[in-house]
A and B are shown apart, each in its own frame.
Chain A
């Protein structure tokens, strides 16, 4: 069963690798983005999170709030920075994302404060 799964997995990877090789002209550019994503996560993001964890050691609710707020900020960042705005098309990125992110982060902070109060 396990070897069947290995076979299927390797076959799928081979299909993907072949497709990338045939249809992505700048394969090196693609590889830089995949490897870059791993390096950015393992060498920058994860150590930064560990550092934040060490600084806030044993204050678990604060750690949780920082992690939740941080991840939501990461997801919202391309919208907040409006990197993909099109001057001819105001229906793309029509909202005030900076303000909206602050609303969501305020809700996270309020929830964390409530949890901390309940745990006392």
Chain B
């Protein structure tokens, strides 16, 4: 009977945690690491969001070529490495869940509410992010939309939590413990787990470590013509374009153009090495052949500052068209690509013609082009 009461009484449960690693010092160090991780994820996430949905006043540079590859690789691989940190932190502070009385004051209740929001949104962001890169969508909401707005909730709760814990964490990490608890071993083990997760997945973003890519959902080099694909021609509902295919250049142009594949091949051809850097964190480089977008736009008599929209044969989907701002279409590396790695584009890579530009999310490297509209 006594035992039964003890199990049901939260105060008694709180006393039953015997490991001395459930302490402030471990929580503080893990908290600092998590603060850095989530801040990095928030900043890199905002970069990705505003590259895809720039407000009118925002123009992104086309260089450095691999900037988005780095920021998004950091977002995804860093996010994966955060999972062990978060689970270790929650284990460390788990006894606090049974604090008794649950609310000492209105202030304490507000503090615990902020922690609840922080824990819920942290688990949510890491779980949905992981499912997203594994291409598994069991949830009833649009992933990018929910992941984006939840991040503000998370960071807001994080700021409140840091304000509440700052003094305690500062005091505890600034003093040297003399109790002989082996925290260093515990923290090193947690760090090593994050390291293993990062090392076995970073190969999908960083080619030199591709040999260690054991658990990442992608492998650069694996796919048609040696390059991974996000959406196949079949999934996009695009069938092979016949000889009637034309690339039309319309809108605010000096003269409209309607170019056949032979017309495009008759223009000066260029070869560039550029990556596809996906929002899901993987990066794969390819050697692309084709025509510079700026050559085609100049032939159509387009003014220098114009914004350009490229449109796909794909009927629907969020990414059937994309904007190309002046810095990108002026860049000599930006091609209307006709070939990849020495062959004509495969259907899954956007045959007969796709956009390829530096420093740009993969979803904006529009495939199966049919029209270039000058705004």
Q: Give the B-binding residues of A (Cβ under 8 A).
A: 2, 5-6, 8-17, 19-20, 23-26, 29-30, 33-35, 37-38, 40-42, 45-46, 49-50, 53, 60, 64, 67-68, 71-72, 74-76, 78-79, 83-86, 88-95, 97, 100-101, 103-104, 108
Contact = CB atoms under 8 A, between A and B. Distances in A.
16 contacts: A13-B157, A19-B148, A26-B141, A29-B141, A34-B123, A35-B120, A60-B182, A60-B185, A68-B192, A78-B136, A84-B217, A91-B224, A95-B214, A95-B216, A100-B200, A104-B196
Contacts of A83: 131, 134, 136, 138
A28 to B, nearest CB: 9
Nearest to B182: A60
Select the residue from A5, A25, A78, A83 with max chain B CB neighbours within 10 A: A78
Nearest to A91: B223
Contact of A92 (B135, B149, B163): B135
Interface SS of chain A: helix, strand, loop or mixed?
helix
Contacts of B87: 45, 71, 74
Given A9-B160, A33-B139, A78 B83 contact: no
A72 B155 CA distance: 26
Interface residues of B, number: 76
Given A16-B152, A93-B135, A108-B196, 20 more contacts: A5-B163, A16-B153, A16-B155, A30-B141, A33-B141, A34-B150, A45-B87, A46-B91, A68-B193, A71-B87, A75-B84, A75-B197, A89-B232, A91-B224, A92-B135, A93-B134, A94-B218, A97-B214, A100-B214, A100-B215
A87 to B, nearest CB: 10
Interface string B199-222: 010000000000001111111001
Contact of A89 (B97, B150, B186, B229): B229
B135 A15 contact: no
A84 B143 CA distance: 14
Contact of A84 (B136, B150, B151): B136
B193 A88 contact: no
Nearest to A39: B120
B228 interface: yes
A97 B213 CA distance: 10
Contacts of A103: 214
Given A6-B163, A9-B157, A24-B146, A84 B135 contact: yes
B175 interface: no
Nearest to B132: A84
B128 interface: yes
A104 to B, nearest CB: 6
B335 interface: no
Contacts of B80: 75
B94 A46 contact: yes
Contacts of A24: 141-142, 145-146, 149
Contacts of A93: 134-135, 217
B159 interface: yes
B130 interface: yes
Contacts of A86: 135, 232, 235
Given A11-B156, A68-B192, A37 B146 contact: no
A84 B134 contact: yes
B214 A20 contact: no
A103 B158 CA distance: 36
A81 to B, nearest CB: 8
Given A19-B148, A86-B235, A89-B232, A41 B196 contact: no
